[in-house]
Amino acid sequence: MKFYKYCASGNDFIITNADEKKDRSALAKELCNRYKGIGADGFIAILPHEKYDFEWEFYNNDGSRASMCGNGSRAVAHFAHHINKIQNKMAFLTGAGIIKAEVNNNIVEVSLGEVKNVENAFDEFGKTWQICDTGVPHLVHFCENLDDFDLRLCKKMREKYNANVNFAQIIDENTLKVRTFERGVEDETQACGTGMGACFYLAFLNKLVKNEVKIFPKSGEEVGFKFENEELFFKGKVRYCFEANYNFS
């Protein structure tokens, strides 16, 4: 199988073209294994679509399906333009709906659309949380110091609410830092696009930041977010690492 390896803000992905829809969970789990396979946070299969530029199937590291992935959507837009020669402005179908993207060299901006299911803040385990859906559900806790990030607490909250868990630190009205525990990986990842989007949106909703900010995930790579015309936009650099053939035993 020919595959392409991509990295976006610290998340890495295996991308391949496919002809038909089918369950690729076992394949994703094999390919994403960092010891026996290729190694990645996620696996993406690109499928043709009659109405949109393409459709995707997105799988987490553990083989589970995910409706959306912010960094994955930027990686796949870069792939579609540079490898599949689709125009630089595109729209593609995900489990969370239609994603619009624009590619300029190695910088990719996507619209994550409207934020959904915003709930009131609540207290649990001595911390204040708020939940919203930026393509997948996210719990957000605003903290004074990101060293407060607690893997065991994140696992408890992830299991109870079936959501990704984020700790966010507001540096100033234009800057945030974020750490994320992701479903499907079941651990902290170097970055999470939809997680950073959830942190930014809730900070903006609570009038803690302006409508356009820069965010630094654990990877340290700067990305940009803005909220405009009721849409959440996510922009940053994408790196096409390499392509190769995977041999099945």
Q: Are 240 and 3 in contact (CB under 8 A)?
A: no
Beta bridge partners, 182, equal 187
Specify whether 7 is catalytic: no
Specify whether 69 is catalytic: yes
pLDDT higher than 90, residue 231: yes
pLDDT higher than 90, residue 4: yes
**Domains present along the chain, CATH in parentheses:** 2-114+236-245 (3.10.310.10), 122-229 (3.10.310.10)
Question: Average pLDDT over the chain, rounded to whole?
Answer: 96
Question: What is the biggest distance separating any 2 CA atoms in the chain, rounded to whole angstroms?
Answer: 55
Q: What are the binding residues for substrate? A: 11, 60, 70-71, 164, 182-183, 193-194
For residue range 60-87, list pLDDT tens digits in order: 999 999 999 999 999 999 999 999 999 9
Q: Exactly one of 32, 69, 132, 154 is catalytic; which is it?
A: 69
pLDDT higher than 90, residue 249: no
Beta bridge partners, 38, equal none
Q: Are 62 and 184 in contact (CB under 8 A)?
A: yes
pLDDT higher than 90, residue 227: yes
Name the burial class of residue 158, with classes exposed (0-12), middle (13-18) and buried (19+) by CB atoms within 10 angstroms of its CB: middle
Distance CA 167, CA 177 (A): 8
pLDDT higher than 90, residue 184: no
Whether the model clears a pTM of 0.95, i.e. scores above it, the answer is no
